[in-house]
Amino acid sequence: MEQEYSITEEINHYLDILFPITRSLTGKGNRETLRVIQEIIPLKIKEVPSGTKVYDWIVPDEWNIKGAWIKDRSGSTLVDMANCNLHVVSYSEPVKMIMDWDQLRPKLNWIDELPDAVPYRTSYYKRDWGFCVTKDQYDAIREAGTVEVFIDSEFSQGSLSYGEILIPGKSEKEILISCYICHPSMANDSLSGVILTAFIARSLMSDQPELMHSYRIIFVPETIGAITYCATHEEQIKELVAGLVITTVGGPGKYGYKQSFEKNHDINGIIESVLNEMDIDFITYPFDVYGSDERQYSSQGFRVNVASITRDKYYEYDYYHTSLDNLDYVKAKNISESYDIYRRIIARLDRNLTYDTVQKYCEPMFGKRNLYPSLGGGLLPPEEEMDDLDCMLWLNYFCDGTHSLFGISEAIGATVEQLHRIARILESRGLLKLLL
């Protein structure tokens, strides 16, 4: 797998800049994250006011937090959000009080099996507060008995922020690329996905003269952000050809892909074909109602096939949703390898077009267009190779507006890339027309 040194470097640079920011469903950290992404691509940042009704949901109040700590009676700090922004349950209400152990205990989250980890917890839709701590911190708090607890958070009538970039290609048929920006300092889930999405967007912009599909690329807080986006772009989501949710792409473990809801959809076939060609050993995760924002895009009204290619998939790795999902765990090199894979998959998706024939009765006369050997009567082309002539004839046979190039490639054993190249020649000679 070749990769320009510079991309890995760039990814590393943005991992360092973006990792420390405190993100949530809303708030300044999200805006700051989107502004950093603007250094990479000309992202539009949109704001949807708190209280906006989006289908069955309401955009929540904006939440911002300046700091939070737990101190013992001597004033020494037992837990400080300045050290790790996972210490505070996301969307915690403001608190300042003296509490004894029995009162505080239900507000503490920790993980017995990972004593050094700070777990990640949220309480978005039920007003509450809490702390997430390591096992040592938990023990120290218990020993301290009475402690002072402080959360300097604020709810306000603000807005939910998201980023969007539309990259038009030849066809108005759109592919969605969606990542989520609501996770605070965790590197695989979801920062790796945010950074990879930004670089994919940049690469698509440079591919643009050759792009066949259009791309709708969004950076949204998970669930409520995706729902907000759907509610404000209902017609566009309905028309999507397919989509990718990019997340957890930087771990040290095994590649995997979560299938879209239709097992036999081209997007799944294309992902498998690319991973197999690259000789990558991967885990197949069947479609599941647990997951990320594909849950929204796959709902009854949309039914868009959306898949994810992952490296250490969310749910599946030990450090998932903990402070150990950090920059020791996630490496820029892993992300840049995933970038290569996504690039190839998207390139194939992009070329997976559907053509119709112009001349639907009988074969066109290839000869007069210099598309056919002029001296007839010879034998078949050698069987070992699927040569261009074969592809041309098969395309001419199959293209009736119902077969995708990937479908044809599976039927005859040619690659989508070869078929696409020849289909464009036939299109330029007036024999095929692209369904746009």
Binding site residues, a second copy, CB under 8 A: 55-57, 89-90, 119-126, 128, 223, 226-227, 230-231, 234, 261, 289-290, 295-296, 298-302, 315, 320-321, 357, 359-365, 367-368, 374-380, 390, 393-394, 396-397, 399-400
Least separation in angstroms between CB 229 and a second copy: 10
- With tokens 């995997």, the residue in question is 256
**429 burial type by CB count under 10 A (0-12 exposed, 13-18 middle, 19+ buried):** middle
Least separation in angstroms between CB 326 and a second copy: 16
Nearer to a second copy, 127 or 142 (CB): 127
Least separation in angstroms between CB 363 and a second copy: 6
Nearer to a second copy, 42 or 381 (CB): 381
d(CA 318, CA 149): 30
Picking from 311, 361, 359, the residue whose alpha carbon sits closest to that of residue 331 is 311
Nearer to a second copy, 124 or 342 (CB): 124
d(CA 350, CA 342): 12
Least separation in angstroms between CB 401 and a second copy: 9
The dihedral sign for the CA sequence 31, 33, 36, 40: negative
50 φ/ψ sector (left φ>0, alpha ψ -120 to 50, else beta): beta
Residue 187: phi, psi to the nearest 5?
A: -90, -40
Nearer to a second copy, 120 or 406 (CB): 120
Least separation in angstroms between CB 121 and a second copy: 5
Nearer to a second copy, 313 or 420 (CB): 313
- With tokens 């840049």, the residue in question is 336
Least separation in angstroms between CB 281 and a second copy: 22
Picking from 309, 350, 310, 41, the residue whose alpha carbon sits closest to that of residue 166 is 41
Nearer to a second copy, 20 or 373 (CB): 373
How big is the CA angle at 330 (ends 340 and 117), to the nearest 5 degrees?
155
Nearer to a second copy, 30 or 357 (CB): 357
Least separation in angstroms between CB 191 and a second copy: 16
| Residue 93 near residue 155 (C-beta atoms within 8 A) | yes
d(CA 4, CA 304): 33
Picking from 334, 321, 339, the residue whose alpha carbon sits closest to that of residue 182 is 321
